[in-house]
Amino acid sequence: MAKKNTRNTKSRIVSAAWKLFYENGYDDTTVEEIVEESGTSKGSFYHYFSGKDALLSSLSDLFDDKYQELIPTLDENMDSFDQLMYLNQELFLMIDNSVSLDLVARMYSSQLVTAGEKHLLDHNRVYYKLLRQIVTEGQKKGELREDVSVNEIVKAYALCERALIYDWCISNGDYSLCQYAKSMMPVFLGSFRTKKASDEK
């Protein structure tokens, strides 16, 4: 139970912080405002984060919370490739609508120069666990190729998402990330579908 409460407190801080970053901008958001918005305490904030800058690496936590929300909405009868595309669309729609480009760019920059943990590559994240689960099921059902390992397919999926986000950032967000990914993700990853699954489309 304690572990769940710990997760909830941290999640509330992260969600509140990114909401305020989006509404007020990163520089104009204070730790005090984050604490008030999250309904936590300063002690709790500094238990998890050394300061506001440390929250930049928590964007991956925000994404994982989104994936956690999406798990119950996944249709088990849906083709596994379509499930992957659905997850991508929902995540990118969230980025389009509630995460500022400046902060995504800052987070990517911090991951490039950090000597510490690279959160985006942490395979214990909900993100990677869910992707591995869907790909494993897809291979069992004959919807995804079995001559490519689960980890390789997951790696390619994550790589495509990062590439699209990176391009969106350096293009100053002058197009919808969600809409562009809708046409490009199937192009990039379509070769992982089995011929049978493609023929049934």
**pLDDT at site 6:** 53
**For residue 87, what is the enclosing H or E element?**
helix 80-98
Q: What's the confidence (pLDDT) of residue 112?
A: 65
Report d(CA 59, CA 89) in Å as an integer.
Answer: 17
Query: What are 101-124's pLDDT values in tens digits?
Result: 887 887 777 666 555 555 666 677
- From first to last of the 201 residues of the chain, give the pLDDT tens digit: 344 455 588 888 988 888 888 888 888 889 999 999 999 999 999 998 888 877 877 777 778 888 999 999 999 899 999 999 999 999 999 999 888 888 788 777 766 655 555 566 667 788 999 999 999 999 999 999 999 999 999 999 999 998 999 999 999 999 999 999 999 999 999 999 997 665 665
Q: Residue 90: count other Cβ atoms within 10 Å of its Cβ.
A: 15
How close are the terminal C-alpha atoms of the chain, in Å? 45
Contact 127, 67 (CB under 8 A): yes
Tokens encoding 60: 């991956």
The Cα-based distances of 94 to 30, 55, 163, 178 in angstroms read: 23, 18, 17, 9
Which of helix, strand or coil describes residue 98?
helix
- Give the pLDDT confidence of 146-170 residue by residue, as tens digits: 999 999 999 999 999 989 999 999 9
pTM of the model: 0.78
